[in-house]
Chains A and B, each alone.
Chain A
Amino acid sequence: MFEQLVNGLTQGSIYALLALGFTIIFGVLRMVTFAHGEVFMVGAYAGFVVFTHLQDNLVLALIAAVVATFLLGALIEIVAFRRLRNAPHFSSLLVTIGFSVVLTQLARLIFGAEVESIPMRQIEGLAFSEIRIGEVYVSYLQLSVLMVALLIMAATFLFFRYSRLGTAIRATAQDHEAAMAMGVDVNRIFTITFAFGSMMGGIAGVLIGFYYNLFYPTMGVMLGLKAFSAAVIGGLASMPGAILAGLLIGVVEVFSVDFVNSNFRHLIAFVFMFAVLLIRPQGLFGGGQLKGARGD
């Protein structure tokens, strides 16, 4: 029971990370991206390639994913959003869908359509060494996932709350014209924000790829949908909301596998989300601006 809770939280922390990236992007640009799941996939592959071909080091894999998805995010923002700032919203939406298709196809071209895994001898140290916490056994891998996810979340909060750039991003989210009047380069803020949100998706990609040790070109589709849903349930612009919703979905999913059948876990997760939205249409922390970096 308690072990299942840890499993759920581990999985949920990855959803939370992915949803958080999505939320940050939406909170600042007021735009939805449909390429987030594929950015996640790119992050997963970046980590996979470094881990299997260069050095089997989880930290290096994460750094590779961070760099790759940060740059990819910046590229997507410039092409899909900056270039189309004065176009109807649908144009940007369409370009992000285009990106998601192109990225999936590229991955298929490079890696093939089959599922790849890290060879057992490289990952067994992480996946099968366990430590005991009280009555519960937790694998090193699970612990790493949880730690990385929590660390990134905490760093994100501190960044938005205390750093100069984080404050400027919040200011831009609240009133981008006023920010421009202070001499803030609003375009640059948008690009950095998008890159930052994408980077969080990329980290989530490495974590989930390693957690299940499965890498395939369409791995971001269902995850992208779930992150989007978690972000909506959280209130779309609320960082604590995204985190809470992500964790909840993870836990619900893991327990549903226990009680129903693992084939239905996606179904259960989405039924749960519908239920939440029926009760709270505005989401858990609904409404308004990018929230959470202050007590607002």
Chain B
Amino acid sequence: MLELNDVNTWYGSVHALRGVSLSVGEGEIVALLGGNACGKSTTMKSILGWVKPRSGDIVFRGERLIGKRPSQIVDAGIAPVLERRRMFPQLTVRENLMMGAWRRRDSKGIAEDIAKMAEIFPVTASRAGQAAGTLSGGEQQMVAMARALMARPKLLIMDEPSMGLSPKYVRTIFDLIVNLNQSEGLSILLVEQNANVALSIASRGYVLQTGVVVIADRAAALLENPLMQKAYLGIA
């Protein structure tokens, strides 16, 4: 569904992605792992059209994405949930959701989706009129996911969904991700530092280090990989 082929992205003179190749299949959850400044965010920005790779290919459902504008990539069916949720703090929860549907013009479909979000994420209904900035971190993560889903994406890219949340909320969020994946057939690219949690729901994973994919394997195998255990899973 999504395929990155030998992607090289530069920031000025910094070679941030060095020949990154990865893929996400239809209906698959894939984890993209790695520490700080390993290139996870740059990979995401390259997919979203926020930075333009110098070489390589990014193909989504047969469509080449490199050179397209961010809005066209949303149209193609990719929606991100950004790191730290990035609510529009002074907009209401409902207005935040409406912004998620910015590229859509089908007001009937949008209204249906708002109702659907109220079922999946009750907080979007119970706090609909409240400024999003006043919600707790966990609640904001729900709204952020609902907002991204309002674009009716086929691929959801989630950037560090576990960051700054209590373990209880992390569990809730990841259960929701699995549910969305199973009930809607939504493909998910999970960009995470927390490899344990990510691999618990992903089918495959990639490990990035200084802009290079150093390991690519099935999730179960990654959990057993001694290198992974030492560097990312906290097992000595």
Contact = CB atoms under 8 A, between A and B. Distances in A.
A170 interface: yes
Interface in B81-129: 82, 86-92, 95, 98-100, 102-103
Contact of A182 (B89, B92, B102, B131): B102
A179 B50 contact: no
Contacts of B71: 183-185
A177 B99 contact: no
Interface in A257-296: 289, 291, 294, 296
Contacts of A294: 90-92, 131
B131 A296 contact: yes
A103 interface: no
Contacts of A296: 90, 131
A296 B92 CA distance: 11
B95 A167 contact: yes
B75 interface: yes
Contacts, number: 69
Given A168-B99, A294-B131, A185 B91 contact: no
Contacts of A174: 88-91
Contact of B99 (A182, A185, A289, A291): A182
A182 B147 contact: yes
A182 B74 contact: yes
Q: Which of B50, B74, B99 has the most CB of A within 10 A?
A: B99
Interface in A1-41: none
A175 B88 contact: yes
A171 to B, nearest CB: 4
A168 B87 CA distance: 13
A179 B80 CA distance: 11
B48 interface: yes
B80 A167 contact: no
A183 B78 CA distance: 10
Given A171-B91, A174-B88, A183 B102 contact: yes
B75 A183 contact: yes
A178 interface: yes
A181 interface: yes
Contact of B82 (A164, A170, A181, A291): A181
A183 B88 contact: no
B27 interface: no
A113 interface: no
A168 B99 CA distance: 7
B69 interface: yes
B142 interface: no
Contacts of B50: 180
Contacts of B74: 181-183
B133 to A, nearest CB: 9
A171 B101 CA distance: 13
A177 B103 CA distance: 16
B91 A183 contact: no
Q: Which of B50, B70, B74, B100 has the most CB of A within 10 A?
A: B70
B20 interface: no
Contacts of B86: 175, 177-178, 181
A288 to B, nearest CB: 9
A167 B131 contact: no
Interface string A184-224: 11000000000000000000000000000000000000000
A296 B148 CA distance: 25
Contacts of B75: 183
A178 B88 contact: yes
Contacts of B222: none
B71 to A, nearest CB: 4
23 contacts: A170-B90, A171-B88, A171-B95, A171-B99, A174-B88, A174-B91, A175-B86, A175-B88, A178-B86, A178-B87, A181-B48, A181-B74, A181-B79, A181-B80, A181-B82, A181-B86, A182-B74, A182-B99, A182-B100, A182-B102, A183-B71, A183-B75, A183-B103
Report, nearest first, the 5 A-B pairs whose CB atoms are least far apart: A183-B74, A178-B86, A183-B71, A183-B103, A171-B88
Interface of B: 48, 50, 69-71, 73-75, 79-80, 82, 86-92, 95, 98-100, 102-103, 131, 147-148, 151
